[in-house]
Structure 1
Amino acid sequence: MKTLSLCLLLLLSASAQATVYKYVDKDGNVTFTNVPIRGAQPIRLNPLSSYPSQHKNSGNSSGGGAAPAKPSSSFPSVDPGTQKQRDSGRRKILEQELANEQKALADAQKALTDGKATRNGDETRNYQKYLDRVQKLQDEVTDRQKNVEALRRELGQN
């Protein structure tokens, strides 16, 4: 029974690498399938490329898994001063984005307050139009609040 199961498993795994067929109908529509269709031509596909891992196991037998790969001498590195300048520039950009987003949030909140206070044109007869417009304004406020929160998290200001 085990032999039969093993043979069946091998047969199924061989069929897992199925042939791909290309079928062109009378209108010129092209269909690719793994099911043979009358008139379809089997096509040969090149195997997928694979590349060996870039880091090697250091032979660490501590049982904690493979050690992290150490950068090779050709690995680009940045001196601490340059990295500090980059971090400073990034922080300035994030702070400017935060300031812009906070201004946009204040504008969106004002637009929401003003929008709730008035009904435009046919919104007096069609209450749903009013609700839809106010909901769009509320969604804008919510989006701006999320952006401000995300920028504060990025800057570490929680």
Structure 2
Amino acid sequence: MKRIRLSLFTWLAYAVTCGSAHAEIYKSVDENGHVTYSNVPSKGAIKLEIDPPPPATTAAPKPKAQATPSNFPRVDSQTQKKRDDQRKKILLEELEAEKAALEEAKKAYAEGESKPEVYRGANGKTYRNVAKFEEKMQRLQADVDAHERNVQLLQKELEAFK
């Protein structure tokens, strides 16, 4: 029963949303309360009046620009300049800190690369633990990549002040 309703609902939704096809839709309810939709009229069926959907547009309409309310708080240019200067100073400090952190991350990567992970076997021989080494190097590389991204983003942010 649910499957019939679902397929009928799906068919109805398809018929309603299909812009190029137009069909008359009839709805009937039997003595058990089961609803049936059809494009063929039957005894006791009611014809549904469904408006076709509007034609699809390729682009969403642009929202209209709204004027700033008169009671909206305003900042004078001198205050804004001070705020911008403060923000630029903070960004420059962060950039220097990120560059230093990037250099440290690169050093840690080079150091990690030169020290392979090893373990001593039951026979007394030393073996390389390749999986552990690769995991360590991935972690170190991710750290380098994160600092490089941060430096790039800070530089991009500072370009707005030029």
TM-score by length of 2: 0.56
Deviation at 1:9, TM superposition (A): 5.0
Percent identity over the alignment is 34
Deviation at 1:91, TM superposition (A): 0.6
Counterpart residue type for residue 139 of structure 2: K
Taking the aligned partners of 1:93 and 1:151, their CA distance within structure 2 comes to 10
Taking the aligned partners of 2:98 and 2:107, their CA distance within structure 1 comes to 14
- Let me know the Cα RMSD of the aligned residues: 2.8
Q: Map Cα deviations across residues 24-65 of structure 1 (whole Å, 9 max, x no partner).
A: xxxxxxxxxxxxxxxxxxxxxxxxxxxxxxxxxxxxxxxxx7
TM-score by length of 1: 0.57
> 2:156 aligns to what?
153
> 1:7 aligns to what?
48
Pair 136,75 (structure 1): closer, same or farther in 2 beyond 3 Å: same
Structure 1 residue runs of 5 or longer lacking an equivalent are 11-64
- Out of 123, 134, 146, the position equivalent to 1:143 is 146
Pair 106,100 (structure 1): closer, same or farther in 2 beyond 3 Å: same
Taking the aligned partners of 2:111 and 2:25, their CA distance within structure 1 comes to 78
Contact 2:117–2:128 (CA under 8 A) maintained in structure 1: no
Taking the aligned partners of 2:117 and 2:146, their CA distance within structure 1 comes to 24
1:71 equivalenced with 2:112 (yes/no): no
> 1:98 aligns to what?
95
1:88 equivalenced with 2:89 (yes/no): no
Structure 2 residue runs of 5 or longer lacking an equivalent are 1-22, 27-38, 40-46, 52-61, 120-125
